[in-house]
A and B are shown apart, each in its own frame.
Chain A
Amino acid sequence: MVRVEFLGPIQKEPLMLEITNLKELASILQEDESMKEWLENCAVAVNDMLVCSREIELKDGDRVALLPPVCGG
């Protein structure tokens, strides 16, 4: 199982999903109307490393996080 977390202002509980790559995660989240706008502007981290490809493989125990636009300071 892969744990998917939604950080900061995204009001969504974590998901536990049987997925093997980020493409599958994209398909699942695209079906969720509440995620539509967040998918446009969220970055993605796998095991706390930011990634820039959907081809990355996921294995059991991996953690994916969605990071919406930031503004520290």
Chain B
Amino acid sequence: MLYLYDGPLNVATILKEWYEQEASSNYGAYISFVGTVRSEDNIEGLSFDIYEPILNSWFDAWQKKAAAKGAIIKMAHSRGDVMLHESSYIAAVFSPKRRVALELIDEFVEDFKASAPIWKYDLRGEKRVYALERSTAIKGSGLLK
């Protein structure tokens, strides 16, 4: 359950939809993470490129890992521009008991930051500047150097 949107996420709607989708699924825990664009270094917002084929296979592998623990993961992300105080990323885990969801949301969001094929740019004036210094090289990088 991976949802991609053009522009900012409607946080209240997405969290409500996910809640309603699983309201009768007998999960005891629903734990969400909402990422919001903060004001720092005079940026006006952020912008994102996504490579969907690899994002989909990365997410499917996580969904299998969650399923082995009786849990499911949902994730939403923005494409394009997201301005200050808007949201670009939501992740959530539903699980029978709280401990699985608490641990999975931590592992999932950390691996997302390190591995998901999404590129972030700072918006400054008319410019879209790749945020290289805040980015992480994917495991195995440098193969062709």
Q: Do A and B interact?
A: yes
A16 CB-CB contact with B under 8 Å: no
The prevalent SS among residues of A at the interface is mixed
User: For A22, what are the chain B residues with a Cβ–Cβ distance below 8 Å?
Assistant: 143-144
- Residues on the A chain within 8 Å of B113, using CB: 70-73
Q: A9-B119, A67-B51, A73-B88 are in contact. Are A51 and B132 (CB under 8 A)?
A: no
CA distance A47 to B70 in the complex (A): 31
Residue numbers in A under 8 Å from B35 (CB-CB)? 73
Q: How many interface residues does A have (CB within 8 Å)?
A: 31
- Does B49 reach chain A (CB closer than 8 Å)? yes
Chain B, interface SS category: mixed
Per the bound structure, the CA–CA distance linking A69 and B131 in Å amounts to 9
Answer yes or no: B136 CB below 8 A from chain A CBs. yes
B53 within 8 Å of A (CB atoms)? yes
Contact B137 A43 (CB under 8 A): yes
Please state if A29 and B49 are interface contacts (CB–CB under 8 Å). no
CA distance in complex: A30, B143 (Å): 12
Q: In whole Å, how far is A56's beta carbon from the nearest beta carbon of chain B?
A: 10
Interchain CB contact under 8 A, B118 and A70: yes
Given contacts A70-B138, A72-B113, contact A54 B143 (CB under 8 A): yes
How far in angstroms is the closest Cβ of chain A from B130? 4
From B131, B132, B134, B140, A43 is in contact (CB under 8 Å) with B140
Listed in ascending order, the chain A residues whose CB lies under 8 Å from chain B are: 7-9, 22, 25-26, 29-30, 39-45, 48-54, 65-73
12 pairs of residues in contact across A and B, judged by CB atoms under 8 Å: A8-B49, A9-B49, A29-B144, A30-B144, A41-B142, A42-B143, A43-B139, A50-B140, A51-B140, A71-B134, A71-B136, A72-B112
